[in-house]
Copies of this chain bind each other. A is one copy, B any other.
Amino acid sequence: MPFKAVVFDAYGTLYDIQSVAAVTEQAFPGHGDIITQIWRIKQLEYTWLRSLMQRYDDFAVVTRDSLVYTLRVLGLRTDAATLDRIIAKYLDLDPYPDARAALAAMKDHRLAILSNGSPAMLDGLVRASGFDSLIEAVISVDAHKIFKPSRQAYALIEETLGLAPDDVLFVSSNPWDVCGAKAFGLNVAWIERVSPEAMAAACLETDLVRPLTMFKALRTQMDELGFAPDYRIAALSELPEIVSTHEP
């Protein structure tokens, strides 16, 4: 039986979160990389911590708070207008170059997004990229007020699409998201954008590392959480073949 739907993570999977670096660098010349990396690392931390603390607030709040944290830690002063300008990039992130073609190649399947993003953030993002015509449903964890990788977040796929987890292929580049989706019972394809060889080489060159290297070391390699993806691909462009040839 083929998959009845392919559901994508948004940030880091269809959309390149590193594309905010152009904006952070413009606002704080020379510091774009470290701002971008600490911001993203803390953004995800805050989703996990708020979920555990039972203090949910939506991803727009978390995104702003984590940027405020980042600039404070770096001792960089800012104003509301600059903050707004940086955060606005989250509504217009660059899609990965192969995202549109991959979605279009799977147009005979039901396609959806399941994301931590707030409904307003996701709506802006999907419209700006023009993916709204390719995707049937944009599912925000906001409906259950808890972030991935909690089980309640992944349960929204079945609640929205009416499909059992085993009928769905979930696609993410985020290792923690892959593990969470597997633990929940979904079929999962992991997009491995940073090879283990490139990763190790970048880390071990010197005593000092680029913030981007630390980000990659923390968030691009498969986690040790007791789960493994069903499919391991290097780019979205490999997905259509998996989806078309799948016979579980």
Which residues of chain B come closer than 8 Å to A149, judged between CB atoms?
A: 49, 52-53
Which residues of chain B come closer than 8 Å to A46, judged between CB atoms?
A: 223-225
Which residues of chain B come closer than 8 Å to A66, judged between CB atoms?
A: 224
Which residues of chain B come closer than 8 Å to A34, judged between CB atoms?
A: 203-204, 209, 217
Q: Which of B41, B73, B76, B221 contacts A72 (CB 8 A)?
A: B221
Q: Does A164 contact B (CB under 8 A)?
A: no
Q: Does A200 contact B (CB under 8 A)?
A: yes
Q: How far is the CA of A45 from the CA of B49 in the complex (A)?
A: 10
Q: Does A55 contact B (CB under 8 A)?
A: yes
Known: A66-B224, A75-B196. A55 touches B203 (CB 8 A): no
| Segment of A118-126, A175-183, A238-246 in the binding face | A175-183
Q: Does A199 contact B (CB under 8 A)?
A: yes
Which residues of chain B come closer than 8 Å to A54, judged between CB atoms?
A: 150-151, 183
CB of A199 to closest CB in B, whole Å: 6
A74 touches B226 (CB 8 A): no
Q: How far is the CA of A46 from the CA of B214 in the complex (A)?
A: 17
Interface string of A150-168 (1 = CB under 8 A from B): 1100000000000000000
Which residues of chain B come closer than 8 Å to A224, judged between CB atoms?
A: 46, 65-66, 68-69
CB of A54 to closest CB in B, whole Å: 6
Q: Which chain B residue shows the least CB distance to A184?
A: B53
Q: Does A51 contact B (CB under 8 A)?
A: yes
B225 touches A179 (CB 8 A): no
